[in-house]
A and B are shown apart, each in its own frame.
Chain A
Amino acid sequence: MAIQLQKEDVKKIFIKLTETFTKEKDFLNDLDSKIGDGDHGLSMSRGSSAVMKIIENNPDFTIFDMLTKGGMQFNEVTGSTIGILIFSAMRAAGLTIKGKETVNLKDLKNMLQASIEAIKKRGKATKGQKTILDSLIPVLEYLENQNDKLDESSIVKGMIEKAFESAHSTKYLKSKIGRAKWFSDRSIGVMDPGAYSGYLALNIVGKYIIEKYQFE
């Protein structure tokens, strides 16, 4: 059965995201304190809780609303670099599916692509600078290289693996942008917390799909 996410699914994904970022708060803070100011976990848990709350309080939200209004809410409670980047990314992703009631795998790829473009533009960042882009871009490249013959189950599993591997590979990169840049050499050996959050988010989406469609 082909992947078709409804708004109820997207809502459940946001609930799982909030649970995950709350659980991983201290781990993300620890990573960030080595190469930044130690609040990344706090921002992600606060931000995702705020998105969940506005979605729960507005049962009439479409998927587009969840992303655009949810993103605005994320920025509202966290501010910061991550807040505006996630708002920009969610807004851009939302615009690609405006008016749609369901989201398929191709839509997901387009949403990821739009998010990456928005983060690049707002953050003036590129690949290889030790940011969230370093877990997202390899996943997009991976998705773009899948031929249509591969079944969706394998593609989603591969996506999770790719995200995991790319997030962990940021250990070997040197921070070149943002506050972490000031830690430059000291940043080598530490995984980028933003890239790890990117993996966590993609992992939740992937796992949710696997569970829903009971891919073996």
Chain B
Amino acid sequence: MKTFYNDDENYVTEMLEGILNAYPNMLKKANGEIRAITRTDAPIKGKVSIVSGGGSGHLPTFMGYVGKGLLDGAAIGNVFASPSMNQMLTLTKAVDGGKGVLYLYGNYGGDIMNFDMAAELAEEEGIQVKSLLVADDIASAKKGDESARRGVAGLFYAYKIAGACADEGASLDEVYLTTQSALEGIRSLGVAIAPCTVPGANKPSFSLREDEMEIGMGIHGEAGIKREKRKSADEVTQDILDLLLTDISVLEGEEISILVNSLGSTPLEELFIIYRKASEILNKKGIKIYKPYIGRYATSMEMAGFSITLFKLNERFKKYLDYPVWTPFVREG
């Protein structure tokens, strides 16, 4: 694997320094801690703060979404490893504007343990914290066991809803409940055809033969539902949508947003070939696409593959999707 980094020990720090150099008017360190990044205008008095975080290796998740209309801050760990409890706590204190903090992050053990301990200590210091886990990946646990699922690209939609709702002045409980109800209609499924290598590790985190693909592969290389012979873009897109629409019912005439996400090295061209088929299938079923997102939203470094996320909409969620955001990697409205 050919790469451009100087030293695996400094991989995360140098990446963060680069991001801070690139967006000095949008991002800053929380209390001098480079692994706890906040928007420059934090803390915002009288607004519920939205905090996320997790391991590095998923850009633009998480730092790319810190800014107006999305996150107030993100705690960043090593590649594919949760940030520390102390980084989360530092961040929480730096962003709290007196109205409480919502921890909104993917359902992974390390993140949960660190965020839970940070929440306990923040509460001891008088900061109100609520935690909401994103668990949108249908490959990672069967229907009926949704709470065991991993969080993947659906995080982006969760940030959109929570961010807009908080900006409107909602209370911590309202932001929590609104985002939770949005999550009930968010489902993702991915497919991988080539792995990535964690800096410092001497080989890829999994292996797939040239003629194989794995449906449901997680964004850290967790095993998926099935390994099979590679298929054409149209066939894989059909399979993935079939599985998604079995997991969540979307009726004719209902509206959804769809996110076609590259896991890293799969190019935009291929994403649009996939989107072409996906939109065709949805149109045929009479399902309306309100707002498609196509690009790199939640990656796994140089992993090749893509994921599709569906988000069932109502009028309120549509309004929140249209809410302006201004962050390093997403600028809308």
Q: Are B110 and A182 in contact (CB-based, < 8 A)?
A: no
Residues of A within 8 A of B108 (CB): 179
Given known A-B contacts A33-B201, A39-B198, A79 and B223 have beta carbons under 8 A apart: no
**Is there a chain A Cβ closer than 8 Å to B273's Cβ?**
no
A75→B81 contact, CB < 8 A: no
Contact A38 B205 (CB under 8 A): yes
Closest residue of chain B to A37 (Cβ to Cβ) is: B220
> Given A37-B220, A39-B201, A42-B200, are A78 and B78 also a contact pair (CB < 8 Å)?
yes
Q: How far is the CB of B89 from chain A (nearest CB, A)?
A: 11
A80 contacts the other chain (Cβ, under 8 Å)?
yes
CA distance A185 to B50 in the complex (A): 37
If A33-B201, A84-B113 touch, whether A183 touches B222 (CB-CB below 8 Å) is yes
Bound complex: CA A113 to CA B116 (Å): 23
Q: Are A75 and B221 within 8 A (Cβ)?
A: no
Question: B40: CB under 8 A from chain A?
Answer: no
Q: Does B144 contact A (CB under 8 A)?
A: no
What separation, in Å, do the CA atoms of A46 and B85 have in the docked complex? Answer: 17
How many angstroms between the C-alpha atoms of A26 and B108 in the bound complex?
24
Classify chain A's interface size: 20 to 34
Contact of B78 among A79, A84, A87, A186 (CB under 8 A): A79
Instruction: Give A76 to B116 CA distance when docked, in angstroms.
Output: 15
Contact of A83 with B by CB under 8 A = yes
Residue A178 lies at the interface, judged by CB distance under 8 Å to chain B: yes
24 residue pairs of the A-B complex, CB under 8 angstroms, read A37-B220, A37-B222, A39-B80, A39-B81, A39-B200, A39-B201, A42-B201, A75-B84, A75-B85, A75-B86, A76-B84, A78-B84, A79-B77, A79-B82, A79-B83, A79-B87, A80-B55, A81-B109, A81-B110, A83-B81, A83-B82, A84-B110, A179-B109, A179-B222
Other-chain contact of B202, A29, A79, A81, A87 (Cβ < 8 Å): A29
Within 8 Å of chain B (Cβ to Cβ): is A203? no
Residues of chain A from 63 to 77 with CB closer than 8 A to chain B in the complex: 72, 75-77
When the two chains form their complex, are residues B201 and A123 in contact, meaning their CB atoms are under 8 A apart? no
> Contact: A33 with B206, CB < 8 Å?
yes
Provide the bound-state CA to CA distance between A88 and B121, in Å.
14
Are A37 and B221 in contact, CB atoms less than 8 angstroms apart? Answer: yes
Q: In the complex, A183→B109 CA distance in Å?
A: 15
A142 CB to closest chain B CB, in angstroms?
28
A38–B117 contact, CB under 8 A? no
B205–A43 contact, CB under 8 A?
Answer: no
Within 8 A of B (CB), among A111-137: 122-123
Inter-chain CA distance A196–B80, complex, in Å, is 21
- Whether A108 is near chain B, meaning CB under 8 Å from some CB there, is no
- Is A26 touching B202 in the complex (CB atoms < 8 A)? yes
For the residues of B in contact with A, the DSSP-based class is loop
Q: Mark B176-210, 1 if CB is under 8 A from A, else 0.
A: 00000000000000000000001011110110000
Q: Nearest Cβ in chain B — how far from A22, in angstroms?
A: 12
- A-side residues, CB < 8 A to B, are 26, 29, 33, 37-39, 42-43, 46, 72, 75-85, 87-88, 122-123, 177-179, 182-184, 186
CB–CB B110/A80 < 8 A: yes
Q: How far is the CA of A29 from the CA of B2 in the complex (A)?
A: 20
Q: Measuring CB to CB, which residues of chain B are less than 8 angstroms from any residue of chain A?
A: 9, 55, 77-87, 108-110, 113-114, 116-117, 140, 150, 198, 200-203, 205-206, 218, 220-223
Q: Hey, which chain A residues are within 8 Å of B77, CB to CB?
A: 79-80
Closest residue of B by beta carbon distance from A26: B202
- Residues A84 and B79 in contact, CB atoms below 8 Å apart: no
**Cα A72 to Cα B114 with chains together (Å):** 12
Find out whether the CB atom of A39 lies under 8 angstroms from the CB atom of B113. no
A26–B77 CA distance with the chains assembled, in angstroms: 21
Contact partner, A183, options B113, B150, B198, B223, Cβ 8 Å = B223
Q: Quick one: given A43-B81, A79-B114, A80-B77, are A178 and B109 in contact (CB under 8 Å)?
A: yes
- Distance, CA A82 to CA B198, complexed state (A): 17
Residues of A near B110 (CB, < 8 A) are 79-84
CA distance A127 to B114 in the complex (A): 22
**CB-based contact B201/A29 at 8 Å:** yes
- By the criterion CB–CB under 8 Å, are B113 and A122 in contact? yes
CB nearest neighbor in A for B224: A182
B114 to chain A, nearest CB (A): 5
Closest to A45 in B: B200
**Which single member of B82, B113, B221 contacts A123 (CB below 8 Å)?**
B113
Cβ of B201 and Cβ of A84 under 8 Å apart? no
Interface centre among B80, B116, B150, B223 (most CB of A within 10 A): B223
Given contacts A43-B78, A79-B87, A81-B113, 15 further A-B contacts (CB under 8 A): A33-B203, A37-B220, A38-B221, A39-B201, A46-B78, A75-B86, A76-B84, A79-B55, A79-B78, A79-B114, A80-B77, A80-B82, A81-B109, A178-B109, A179-B109
